[in-house]
C-alpha cells in the first residue's frame, strides 16, 4: 500500500490522487444487522439437519414451566425417543441437574448477565453432544419475554409458554416474542380455579391480535392434562421435518423460523 495516499498501488512512482478521490461518498447497503449471527445459526441448522435432530427452542418468562415441560416430555417419551437439552440461565446449574436426574444429557450455558442465548453460544456447546444419537434437542432459553425472540439459534420450532399466573394479556404486551411462536402453550392451567381473572379465550385472542397464527394448547403438567396433545404436536413436528428433508424442494428453504 502506498503510505502517502493509502491507495493500493505498490510502485511509488504513481501520481497521487486528491486525498478524497479513493473514498466513495457513501455505501448503499441493505444488509441484515444480525447477518453474522444468522451465518452461525445457519451453520447450526445444517448440523442438525445432517444428524437428523429436531431442535425445539422453548421461550417464556422465568418460572412458567419450561423445565417441567421438558421433564414431563422425557418421562412420556423416554423409551421411544432420545432427548438432549441445552439449558440457558444467567446463573446456576439447577435446571441441568433437574434434567440429568432423568438420565438425559443436559449442558448448561450460564450467560452471566446476558439476557438471551445466541447462535454462537449454541455452536460452542454442540461438540459436547453426540448428535447422531439424539432425536430431539430442547433449547431452554433464558427466561425472558423480550430478547430471546430476536436471535435465531438454528432451531426448527419455537414454543412459547404462557403460564396462567402471568395473566392473559401477555401476548399484546410482548408481541415480538409471541409472534415468533410455532406453538403457544398455556401452562399451569391447574391454577385456573384460583386465577379467576385469567381467561383461555382472552389469552388466545391476545395471541391472534399480535399476528400469532400458531396452534394454542393447554397444559397442566402435574395433573397430566394436555400432555398427550403436546406430545402429538412434538412428534408431528419431528415427522414433518424429516419428511420434508427426505423430499427436498427448492421452495422449502423457508423452513427457518420467522426472523424478527
Which residues contact another protein by CB under 8 A? 3-8, 19-20, 22-37, 113-116, 118, 146-147, 149-151, 171-173, 175-176, 179, 208-211, 213, 259-260
Q: Report d(CA 244, CA 220) in Å as an integer.
A: 32
Cβ atoms of 244 and 255 within 8 Å: the answer is yes
Q: Report d(CA 228, CA 146) in Å as an integer.
A: 29
- DSSP string computed for 54-91: EEEEEE-STTSSHHHHHHHHHHHHTTT--EEEEEEESS
Cβ neighbours around 255 below 10 Å, total: 14
Angle between helices 66-77 and 227-246 (to 10 degrees): 80
C-beta of 27 vs 194, nearer to another protein: 27
CB of 212 to another protein, least distance (A): 8
CB of 165 to another protein, least distance (A): 21
Phi-psi region of 31 (alpha: psi -120 to 50; beta: other; left: phi over 0): beta
C-beta of 3 vs 246, nearer to another protein: 3
C-beta of 93 vs 172, nearer to another protein: 172
C-beta of 20 vs 243, nearer to another protein: 20
CB of 185 to another protein, least distance (A): 19
C-beta of 123 vs 172, nearer to another protein: 172
CB of 33 to another protein, least distance (A): 5
Task: Answer positive or negative: Cα dihedral of 105, 110, 115, 117.
Answer: negative
**What grid cell was written down for 212?**
400469532
CB of 5 to another protein, least distance (A): 6
Amino acid at each position: 500500500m502506498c503510505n502517502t495516499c493509502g491507495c493500493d498501488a505498490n510502485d511509488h512512482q504513481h501520481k497521487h490522487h486528491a486525498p478524497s478521490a479513493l473514498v466513495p461518498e457513501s455505501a448503499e447497503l441493505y444488509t441484515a444487522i444480525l447477518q453474522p449471527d444468522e451465518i452461525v445459526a445457519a451453520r447450526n441448522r445444517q448440523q442438525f439437519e445432517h444428524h437428523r435432530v429436531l431442535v425445539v427452542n422453548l421461550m417464556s418468562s422465568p418460572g412458567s414451566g419450561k423445565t417441567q415441560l421438558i421433564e414431563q416430555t422425557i418421562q412420556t417419551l423416554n423409551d421411544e425417543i432420545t432427548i438432549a437439552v441445552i439449558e440457558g440461565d444467567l446463573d446456576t446449574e439447577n435446571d441441568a441437574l433437574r434434567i440429568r436426574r432423568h438420565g438425559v444429557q443436559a449442558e448448561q450455558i450460564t450467560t452471566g448477565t446476558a439476557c438471551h442465548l445466541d447462535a454462537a453460544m449454541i455452536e460452542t456447546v454442540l461438540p459436547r453432544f453426540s448428535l447422531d444419537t439424539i432425536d430431539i434437542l430442547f433449547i431452554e432459553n433464558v427466561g425472558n419475554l423480550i430478547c430471546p425472540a430476536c436471535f435465531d439459534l438454528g432451531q426448527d420450532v419455537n414454543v412459547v409458554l404462557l403460564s396462567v399466573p402471568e395473566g392473559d394479556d401477555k401476548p399484546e404486551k410482548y408481541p415480538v416474542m409471541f409472534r415468533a411462536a410455532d406453538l403457544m402453550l398455556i401452562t399451569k392451567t391447574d391454577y385456573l380455579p384460583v386465577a379467576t381473572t385469567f381467561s383461555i379465550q382472552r389469552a388466545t385472542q391476545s395471541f391472534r391480535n399480535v399476528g400469532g397464527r400458531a396452534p394454542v394448547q393447554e397444559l397442566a403438567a402435574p395433573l397430566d392434562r394436555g400432555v398427550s396433545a403436546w406430545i402429538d404436536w412434538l412428534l408431528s413436528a419431528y415427522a414433518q421435518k424429516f419428511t420434508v428433508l427426505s423430499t427436498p424442494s427448492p421452495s422449502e428453504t423457508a423452513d427457518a423460523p420467522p426472523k424478527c
